[in-house]
Structures are given as structure tokens and as C-alpha cells.
Amino acid sequence: MNGAEYVSPEACPLCSDVARRLRLSVASCVVNAPPYVQCQRCGLVFHHEPRPRPDPPLSWESFDRYTRWKLPTNRVRLNWLAQYASVPRGRAVDIGTKDGSAVKVLTEMGWQAVGYDPDQRFHAFAKETYGVEIRPDWFTADAVGPGTLDLVIAYHVFEHIPDPLPWLFEVWKALKPDGLLQIDTPNLGNIHATQICQGHAVLYTSHTLRQMLEKAGFRILAMTECAPGSNRTYDQLGVVAQRSQPKSVSFSVSHVDRVASSLLASPVEHFPPSPILSVRIYRAVTRRMVGAVRRFRYRALSRKNPSA
């Protein structure tokens, strides 16, 4: 498949460029920040430093606290997906399922769902709490059968993958011709300080995420910078994509990618207390700013052309 060959650590994970790099400075409030760089051909921000140590063990109480908010969050995510998913309820896979709550919701919605997660700390909890199956393996198309899946979801997994194109190719092979992929990942356009960490190998804007999916052979059905299930402060990207024919991508750098260095240098440190209020404020401020710019331009044109 075009563009899905293995990408070496020295090359850009998206466009394979090996020359043009911009080292990005990270805010001092971020402890042990990895050395992020930006490809100057496509705008992708990434690093290739290995994680220093594995995750520590978790207690049963921490599992319980973790899954209380994950279950309703995953219901919101999958209800948003259902607005764009016209495929019948068939086989579904949740990659990086953790506590298994997304598999539970998929099962309730009528999907034949299974989770994949090599992190076995969550498996016993998921089995006892939700009665769902989690396979302790890395996801591959051969493991599920090529062309057999109707849906693949991956919530906050994509940013952990240093070489995303080979991973997307495995998903592409596993999906049916009209199969769907749903991804949630941090939004570099409004990045939170906690999202700048060693485990997040690649940080996406909506532009670089679109380029990545299209290069891997997916067609974007819906994308939002206010991902469903998040705290609605524009720090999460949500996307629904459908398997399509691969096509060549003309790489470019968006206006948001051009200011990536300033975004990492001044990340969001505290979220507003009310998720609904933050959206209303954002929209109100945006409307007023756009209106002010239009009035300024109109007055400037009027002064130049008094007879107009």
C-alpha cells in the first residue's frame, strides 16, 4: 500500500523526510519533557526517545476510580460515532482498551466487541467488572483476520505510537471495505501541559492527523477539536474515518503547525471549572473578534472609497 512502508526512527513518521527539522522548546512547567522536533515539510511534531521505565502496578481501588468516569465518557464517544456509522453492528475491536469499558459499551450497542491491550494490569478487573474479553496481544490484521472488522476504535492510543503508518496499515487491512476507524488523541492546537510527556511520541493538529489518515488510505467522515467525552476545552481531537482507496498526499504545513513552538512553550495548565461555560465563552469571544475585524475592514474600505 502506498505510503505504509516502515518508517525508520530517523525519518519523519508522516512524510519520511530526514533533513528538515525544527527543535521545539517546551514550557518550564513540564517536568522531564522529551525532545520534540517538528518536520518542516509536513508539520508533524514528534520525538523518538524511549520511555524510561514501565508503568507501576495499580491497586484495585485505583481501577475502580479510573473506570467510574471512563464508562460514561466512552458512551458519549460511541454515541457521537453512531451519528456517522451507517454500517451494521458487526465485529468491533477496541485497541488499547485498558479497563474494558469501551468494549462493554460496544457490546451494549449490539457490536461483537473484543479489546486488545498488552498491559495486563487491567485484564482481571475488566473480566470481573464488565465480563468482557481483553486479549493480551498487540493488534495485528492477521490476529483478527484481514477484511473482517466493521469498526476499530482507539482512544488515546495513537499519540503513543512512534511509527503510526504501519499501525494504520494493520487497521486498514483488518477492516472491511466500508469499515470505520474512530480515534481520540490530544490536540496540539490547544495542548494541555499534562499531554506533553515521554509516552506521547507524536502530537497532532487536525491538519497533520488528516494528512496521516489520508496517506494510510482513510477518508475523513467527521473531525472535531472538541472531542466527545472530553472536558470540552478544545484539547482533544476526535475523528471518524472510513477505509478507502490509498491516494497520494501533497504535504503542507498549516497555520497552526507554524506556531507549534509557541504552543508547546505556553501550554494550557488549568482547565476552566465548567465544561459548558468554556465552550460558550470561546464561541462568544470568537464571534466578537470576527465582528470587530469585519467592522474595521469595512471602515477602512469606506475611507478609501467615500462614494462606495
Judged against a pLDDT cut of 80, whether residue 266 lies above it is answered with yes
Residue 149's domain comprises: 21-265
Question: Hey, which of 65-69, 118-122, 143-147, 242-246 has the most confident mean pLDDT?
Answer: 143-147
Structural domain count, the chain: 2
Judged against a pLDDT cut of 90, whether residue 113 lies above it is answered with yes
State the DSSP H helix or E strand holding residue 296, giving kind and residue range, or none if neither.
helix 275-304
pLDDT band at 5 (very low <50, low <70, confident <90, very high): very low
Inside any domain, residue 108: yes
Lowest mean pLDDT, pick from 46-60, 139-153, 255-269? 46-60
Whether residues 216 and 290 share a domain: the answer is no
Whether residues 181 and 285 share a domain: the answer is no
Inside any domain, residue 154: yes
Whether residues 45 and 88 share a domain: the answer is yes
Whether residues 173 and 257 share a domain: the answer is yes
Inside any domain, residue 5: no
Whether residues 147 and 169 share a domain: the answer is yes
What is the rounded radius of gyration, in angstroms, for the C-alpha atoms of the chain? 21
Residues 6+ apart with CB under 8 A from 47: 34, 35, 36, 37, 201
User: What is 170-211 written as a DSSP string?
Assistant: HHHHHEEEEEEEEEEEEBGGG-BGGG-STT--EEB-HHHHHH
